[in-house]
Every structure is written in C-alpha cells, then in structure tokens.
Chains A and B, each alone.
Chain A
Amino acid sequence: QQQVKQSPQSLIVQKGGISIINCAYENTAFDYFPWYQQFPGKGPALLIAIRPDVSEKKEGRFTISFNKSAKQFSLHIMDSQPGDSATYFCAASRRYNTDKLIFGTGTRLQVFP
C-alpha cells in the first residue's frame, strides 16, 4: 500500500513534443504529490507538486494532472527540449507529522533535437 508505481521506465521524445509520465498509488491517505527532476551527479530538484484538492496544476511547460478517483497522477512536459533530458521521479507523502516521501522508480527521459 506504500508503493508508488511509475511508468514508463524510459521515454524518448523529439524536440518540441509532449512527454508524459504516469504514476499510480494505493494509499488514499497520501495528500501531497511532488515531481522531482534529477540530472546525473546531482540531487533531485523539486519540479512541481500538487495536492489532491485540485485536478491540475501548471507551471510553465510542466503540468501535473491528478485523478483522485483513479489514484493516478501524471506529469506532462510540453514543447520538450534537449535540456529536459533527465530522470524524473514522482513521489507521494502523507504529511501528517512526517516529511517522508515514497518515490516511484523513475523515468529516464531523452529528448532528441
């Protein structure tokens, strides 16, 4: 019940295309869903996050879509750029008295010019 399942494992997109990464969770107590971007040799960087009281959040080219009934959320990267090539992790947490994050397994995104 603590797992967060992420797909696909890897993704190849052409420059200008849309990248879509999906995550699913079981624990309905989760109330915070962040996405992290990680470049080789670096720590994960917080990209965008959502709480279950909204169905979508957009920040620049990055959008989270959240489906509470299906217990799924996804990251959409519009107009993908070569500089977006990185590993993306979804995560979930139940923020009552803890900051513990449960991470998905990661998606390696490659954007080709």
Chain B
Amino acid sequence: KAGVTQTPRYLIKTRGQQVTLSCSPISGHRSVSWYQQTPGQGLQFLFEYFSETQRNKGNFPGRFSGRQFSNSRSEMNVSTLELGDSALYLCASGGTGYEQYFGPGTRLTVT
C-alpha cells in the first residue's frame, strides 16, 4: 500500500497571503488528522476529519481551516499568514485500528 502523501513538500509564502496544503491518506483510511510541528511548541493537533466531517478541533485560531473530500483526501488552509505560522505541517492517516501513520509533511516558511 502506498503511504500518506502530502503536497507540496516545501512552500514559501509572504505574510498576509493564504496557503492550501493537501494530504492523501493511505488507501482505505477514512480519518485524516493535521498537526503543526515547531521547535518551540512541538507537535500540536490542528483538526481531524472522518468521512468528510470535522470530528475534533485543536486550539488554533479560525485562520486555520480544513476539509475532507469524498475520496478521503484532505486539505488545510491557512489565511492571512503570520510569521509564526512557519512550521512543518503533518497529516496523519487512520483506519479502523488504533494506528496513525504520518506523511512526510509540508515545510511552510512565511517571510
């Protein structure tokens, strides 16, 4: 089975712009979760989607949003980018078991 794929892998944006990141989960998995990883804050949960519905949400401002499509692919969007949004954004794919498998991440740099 192919693993979790994320696109793009690297992104450079300017403050005030918006960005959309994409995640394709493992085939057959219906759950996609998003995490932000920074050196200062570590791995923080953003939100989780299951069968196109947001099932859980972390403590991030409304500038961070996401959605999931009928094929389980997910996108997250960050509007009005701030310097502090520079991070590695990771998505995790979950099936019927307990295991969560992460993708390689998208490295976002905001200048």
Residues of A whose CB lies within 8 Å of any CB of B are 32, 34, 36, 42-46, 49, 51, 89, 93, 95, 97-106
Pick the contact of A100: B4, B48, B104 (CB < 8 A).
B48
Residue B42 CB within 8 A of the other chain: yes
Residues of B whose CB lies within 8 Å of any CB of A are 4, 31, 33, 35, 42-45, 48, 50, 55-56, 58, 90, 92, 94, 98-105
Does B42 lie within 8 Å of A43, measured CB to CB?
no
**A97-B55, A99-B31 known; A32 and B42 CB under 8 Å?**
no
Instruction: Classify the interface of chain A: helix, strand, loop or mixed.
Output: loop
Number of A-B contacts (CB under 8 A): 60
**A43-B90, A44-B90, A106-B42 known; A99 and B104 CB under 8 Å?**
no
The answer for the CA separation of A104 and B37 in the assembled complex, in Å, is 12
Does B98 lie within 8 Å of A98, measured CB to CB?
no
Pick the contact of A36: B33, B45, B102 (CB < 8 A).
B102
Contacts of A95 in B (CB 8 A): 98
Contacts of A34 in B (CB 8 A): 98-100
Contacts of A42 in B (CB 8 A): 104-105
The answer for the CA separation of A44 and B105 in the assembled complex, in Å, is 9
The answer for the CA separation of A102 and B92 in the assembled complex, in Å, is 13
The answer for the CA separation of A44 and B93 in the assembled complex, in Å, is 12
Question: Chain B: which residue is nearest A33 at the CB level?
Answer: B98
The answer for the CA separation of A102 and B58 in the assembled complex, in Å, is 11
Interchain Cβ contacts under 8 Å between A and B, 13 examples: A32-B98, A43-B103, A44-B43, A46-B100, A46-B102, A89-B42, A95-B98, A98-B56, A99-B92, A100-B48, A101-B43, A101-B45, A105-B42
Contacts of A93 in B (CB 8 A): 98
Does A43 lie within 8 Å of B33, measured CB to CB?
no
The answer for the CA separation of A105 and B58 in the assembled complex, in Å, is 17
The answer for the CA separation of A46 and B58 in the assembled complex, in Å, is 22
